[in-house]
Structures are given as structure tokens and as C-alpha cells.
Structure 1
């Protein structure tokens, strides 16, 4: 049912107004969650506990994990409902980018209205030579298109700057992008990393991979990203580096699940997902905002 709803939203990228109003279905049993939210309309969700004002966060792009993505944007909006812009980092799944880092400078039409490109960010990147503008790449990149309607719904006044980051992006290139993008984030920006975790492993093995991955993401250990089982490793390096540049020190794990939890098949190879918020440093970090156990490595079933 949810996949049909999310498909309607994505169709709305090209047919504005065609999608029905979204509602968030209950999470399947077995999803580890710090958000005790019943199945209510996506906005508003007053039942969400006190959440940090986040500088950004990580969310999946697999449509099967749609309930987690919806709740992620509710959590972001609960902390800061009026960001100036959203910078969205994604993998280049099909290696269609002509450069190791590509960006989109076009406006979008979504089922919730127009989503304007961030002109300032587009100009900065175009002049830098560190990334290549390739608008035709992005309509085929689900790491971006899954998120755009929900960005427009959560933050109707914000602009968007989507980038794809391939494995070939160099450390020097990512450092240069950090210097360019940081002022855009400081000036009222949110940073979102569209990333799934482990792929093509059965749940017990995927869990072991996530036990390595989640502590690295939560503690922002940029130097330990290499070799982790995730689908946008160089985007993760850029993402964590930018947040570190803002003085952020740790993340808060909101939810953690695998695809078998949604399909009902707990034995087949799966994809794992996590949603994470990174509180702004001026909020005093994440301690005391959400249950502390959510900051530890997962135990038991995903």
C-alpha cells in the first residue's frame, strides 16, 4: 500500500497535483524506532518527542522504506520548519554522471508544488569547476527523486541543490566542495544524505555490517567510512565533513530497519536502512534529546 502511495508522489514530479494526500502507515513489527508515532497524517505530528534543531540527517531512498523517510522529514521539520535551502547528496546509481560530482540547476514540479533550484548554490558550483551541471541525470536518479516531493512538502519555502557523488570523487575535490558548500549551510541550510546501507546480504550478515557502520556514522568518524557496506560512501565523507565543519560532533539514530521487515521475508537478501539526525552544536548535542540506547550499536533483530 505504501509503495503505491509513494509511487503516486513520484509521479507527481511530472504531473503536479496528481498524488493523493499522504498518510504514514504504522511501522512493521521489528523496526527499531525512537519515534513513538501512530499512523496519522504526515503533517503535523505533535506526538513526536522533543527533537533537536538539526543541521541535517541521513535517510534511505528505497521506496520500500517510505514510512521511515516520511517520519525523517517530520522529525527535521519539527526542529526547523523554515530552512532557506536543502542540499541533497545522493549516489549516482547508474553511473550516468559525466563527472564524479554532478549537480542539478533546474527547478522541479512536484505533486506538492514547485521546488525551486538554489540559484546561489548553482552559481557557486558552476564557477568552481569542482562539480559538473548535468540536469538530465537527475530525473533518472531515484536517490534524488524519492526525496524531492517530501522536501517540497516539509519545507515549501526552501530551495534545493541536489548533487550526486560517485566513488571516484577525490579527497581534494571533496575538501574543495566542503569549503564551497559550508557558507550555504551556515546561511540557513539543511544537509540531507540520501543513502541506503547494506545490500544483498541476508539479515544476520547485514546486521553485522550495520554494527560496524552505525557507530561510524553516529560518531562522525570520517576516516573510517572506507570499506563500510553502504551505497554512497564518498557522499558520506562529504556529508560528515561538512557537519564537522559546522562544529557538530554526533548524530542521533531515529530508526533502523531492513527490507525484509517490510516484505515479511526475514530470510532473503535484504537492504538495510537508518534515519539519523545531526543536532546543531548550539543545541548542546544529542544527549538527553532522545533515548540514549539509540546511540549504541543495534542489538538483536534489526
Structure 2
């Protein structure tokens, strides 16, 4: 009897031991099982491209409001002609003027837009470009990277994305250009105030391989600054007289009470001259005081000009 009880206890203890062993092994397996780490998220092409792009200077709502404005109408028709170069403001108060030119660009469908404007802060190098695109509400406005690299390799421009990112002479136009000419690429160039006519000519020489019939050069220029409406209009008459005469020495002698970048303006004129064009169409000329109907503002004035062939 006593032996039977001992035997039963022994079996019971063995079962308990086996149970503990099994539970222990299960727990060991659970805790010692190697963790399978999640695969690192790979960046898609779209994400990569957005990182290599400057932030948009216009929100979706702001772009919507700009597009809702009525474009100026000068009754100008492209017909069989093509825009070779143009002068546009970068102050978005001038949206009606901008929309008229952008509508013409949409009709022409250029593949490349060379946009040359002032480096307002005169930061870093005299001539700056970059390979990053621009974020816009309609997607990224991509750059013509080969052209930018060639300018850099020839010593004609310095690549500086940091300065370019905050420069509104390019950034303000980017959303409109992307909206109206969605397939076009941009060659962005900003110039310090001291860039000479000779340097503009050298820059155009460097851009020559890209200056075909599918390219339009845009000079992004605002004209008189910090004046009353009547003072701005008087200054604009002087500037227009110099432009009509292609008087570069006189234009380069003007300060920002007349225009913010003589060198940027000259680029559109010099390219036209290379094509044998010595006349232009003024689509619009106004100022912020007139647009906002306020004669007491310190105004900015605007021209929209086209060279066609």
C-alpha cells in the first residue's frame, strides 16, 4: 500500500516536472525567438523628388485666388509667331498681367523656360543657379539639370540651393508656370545687382545649346519701387524710352527706383537682338497703386513685354 502511494507520488512528480519543463521550453522559445524587424521604408521616387525641391511660395488657396482674377486683355494674338523672350513681374499683385502672358505661354507650350531674375539680397555669388525643382500646388516644377550643370562647369554660375530657395523672383512665378505649362522644365538663374552686360552676354553664350525654338527666356523684373503712383508712372516713361532705344548704358545706370535688375532685363533684350529682333510689344504697364486704387501706397510698377518672331 505504502509502495503504491510512493509510486503514485513519483509519477505525479514526474508529470509536474515534465509540465514545468514543457512550459519552460515554450517560454524560452517565445522570449528567445529572434525579432523580425520591419523592412526599412524605401523612399519612392516622388518622395525623393520632393526632398530635392524648394518649398512652394504660394499655397493652393492662394494660387486658386490668383487664377480667379481676370487677365489683362491687350488683344495680342500669337497667330503664327513664337515668344522668344519676355519680361514679367514677380510681384503677385500684378496677377492680371501675369495671367495674360501665362495664357500665351500655355498656347505656345515651350519645353524649357529660362527664368532670370534679381538676387534681391545680393547674397553669395554674382550669378546663381540650382538643380532643385520647385514644389507647387500642381506638383514639382523640374529643372533642366544638364543646362545648370553646364553653366557651373563653364564657371558661369554657382550652384547655391539655399539662396535660390528663398528668392521670390523665381519662386513667385514657379506655381503659375507649372500650372500653365505643366510639361516645361525651368533653368533658374538669379543675378546680383552688379552683374554687367558683358556677364549677361557670357551667360547667354553658355545657354546657347538650350536656346532653341522650344525655349522661352523670361526676365523676372519689377520696375519702380517705393514711389507714389504719379512718380512711378514718370519713372516708367523714362525706362520705356531707354528700352525702346536698347540703351544698355542708360538702363544699367538706373537704380531700384526705376527697376530692380537691369542685368535680368537685359537678358531678354540681348537674346532678342541675337535673333535679329529690334522691337517688342508692351502688353501691359501699371503699378500696385493703380491696381489697388490707392494713390498713397509706396508702389511697385510693372511691365509685361514680349519679343516674338
TM range (shorter): 0.7 to 0.9
Match of 1:210, SS state, is: helix
Q: Paired residue for 1:237, among 255, 259, 266?
A: 266
Cα RMSD (Å) of the superposition? Answer: 2.5
1:182-206 deviation digits (Å, cap 9, x = unpaired): 3311252110011111111112221
Long gaps (5+) in structure 2: 1-53
Deviation at 1:239, TM superposition (A): 2.8
2:67 aligned with 1:23, yes or no? yes
The offset of 1:90, in angstroms, is 0.8
Q: Does 1:215 align with 2:241?
A: yes
Partner in structure 1 of residue 113 of structure 2: 86
Which has the higher Rg, Structure 1 or Structure 2? 2
User: Which structure 1 segments of 5+ residues have no match?
Assistant: 1-10, 28-32, 37-47, 281-302
How many pairs were matched up? Answer: 251
Deviations along 1:247-290, whole A, 9 cap, x unmatched? Answer: 2211101111111122221233311111111112xxxxxxxxxx
TM score, norm. by length of structure 2 = 0.74
User: Taking structure 1 as the reference length, what is the TM-score of the superposition?
Assistant: 0.75
Partner of 1:103: 129
| SS of structure 1 residue aligned to 2:135 | strand
Residue 16 of structure 1: how far off its partner (Å): 8.6
Could you say which residue in structure 1 is the equivalent of 2:96? 67
Cα-to-partner distance string for 1:132-157 (whole Å, 9 max, x where unaligned): 01011122111111111111112111
Matches within 5 A, 1:163-178: 163-178=189-204
CA 53–127 in structure 1, closer or farther in 2 if over 3 Å, else same: same
Match of 1:273 in 2: 302
- Please give the secondary structure, in 1, of the residue aligned with 2:120: coil
2:270, 2:282 → 1: CA distance?
Answer: 18
Q: Is the 8 A contact 1:218 1:252 kept in 2?
A: no
Q: Judging by fraction of residues, say which structure has more helix.
A: 2
Query: How far off is 1:93 after superposition?
Result: 0.9
Q: CA deviation at 1:92?
A: 0.7
1:203 corresponds, among 221, 229, 242, to 229
Distance 1:19 1:12, change over 3 A: farther
Q: Within 5 Å, which residues of 2 pair with 1:152-163?
A: 152-163=178-189
**d(CA) in 2 for partners of 1:71, 1:207:** 21
Query: 1:13 — aligned with what?
Result: 56
